[in-house]
Structure 1
């Protein structure tokens, strides 16, 4: 009987140790879970982008028109002059352009209306330089803090709230252990 109890106790102990190994997570595994999550749910910043029929003044809107010209050079928009008016005895002129989004802009356009679009101005990617900082709260949850580097898109000049105080953000994710899927980010 003692031998039988010893075997059962040994079997239970081995089972607990085996389960314990499956519930731990290390730094590289946490980084892989976050990388997979960011591929499926990318982090980005958006802005409103005006297009369609737009009027520009040759002096006061020179910088704004330059932003659109840059996008045209990259193939993201097409610009067609519809009307040009020279003001009498003035150096200022007004121009009406038809600005159209091209197919090349589609990966950066999230929502589009008649003359406005919501576009990605900044994308945040997992930084290679700063390691993943994590702490395992208990056997089935962990907190992971990562550094996401800021990558400007071609539409970044249209970001009205451009805050250039840093080129990265830190974000904390909560990981939860699922018996079926393993470690996953909990929303």
Structure 2
């Protein structure tokens, strides 16, 4: 009888410890958690993009028109010339265009107003070459630092705050262990 009690007690102890969530995490598992998080919540940089009826006069504005023509060649906008005032042998020519966003631009447009839109200029994706660095703070939290490489979009030339000092950023995420879902990024 005593043996049976010890046997049942040991099975119950093994059963309870087997149900306990895994409290340790390794580099590969941390990378998988971060990849899953970035797929659901992508990191990106945005800027404001003007469209609608726009007038281009000076040389600097004609450079801006070149950016719009590049987008038009990629099918992201349409350019319809409404008015052209060319002055003979003068640099004071003026062009008025109706610029319209196309359906092809919709994945990059986050918010759209009447004549301005918030568009993605950079997207950050997990770098393959640099490994995930992590530090386990305690049994249920970890800090994970990853390298995210920059991937420019077609709207990148419109970024007025373009900072080309680096082609990657490092970002630290805090991972928390939950009973139901395992390791997850804590916001």
- 1:9 deviation in Å? 8.0
Secondary structure of residue in 2 paired with 1:23? coil
- Report Cα offsets for 1:49-99 as digits up to 9, x if no partner: 000000002633221111000000000000000001134662320000000
Matches within 5 A, 1:89-108: 90-108=90-108
Secondary structure of residue in 2 paired with 1:60? helix
- 1:22 deviation in Å? 1.3
Secondary structure of residue in 2 paired with 1:33? helix
Give the unaligned 5+ runs of structure 1: none
Superposed CA RMSD in Å reads 2.2
Matches within 5 A, 1:1-187: 14=14, 18=18, 22-57=22-57, 59-87=59-87, 90-187=90-187
When normalised by structure 1's length, the TM-score is: 0.90
Aligned equivalents of 1:184, 1:82: Cα separation in 2 = 53
Query: Would the aligned equivalents of 1:58 and 1:95 in 2 still touch at CA under 8 Å?
Result: no
When normalised by structure 2's length, the TM-score is: 0.90
Moved more, 85-94 or 175-184: 85-94
Query: Would the aligned equivalents of 2:134 and 2:142 in 1 still touch at CA under 8 Å?
Result: yes
Secondary structure of residue in 1 paired with 2:163? coil
Secondary structure of residue in 1 paired with 2:172? strand
Number of aligned positions between the proteins: 187
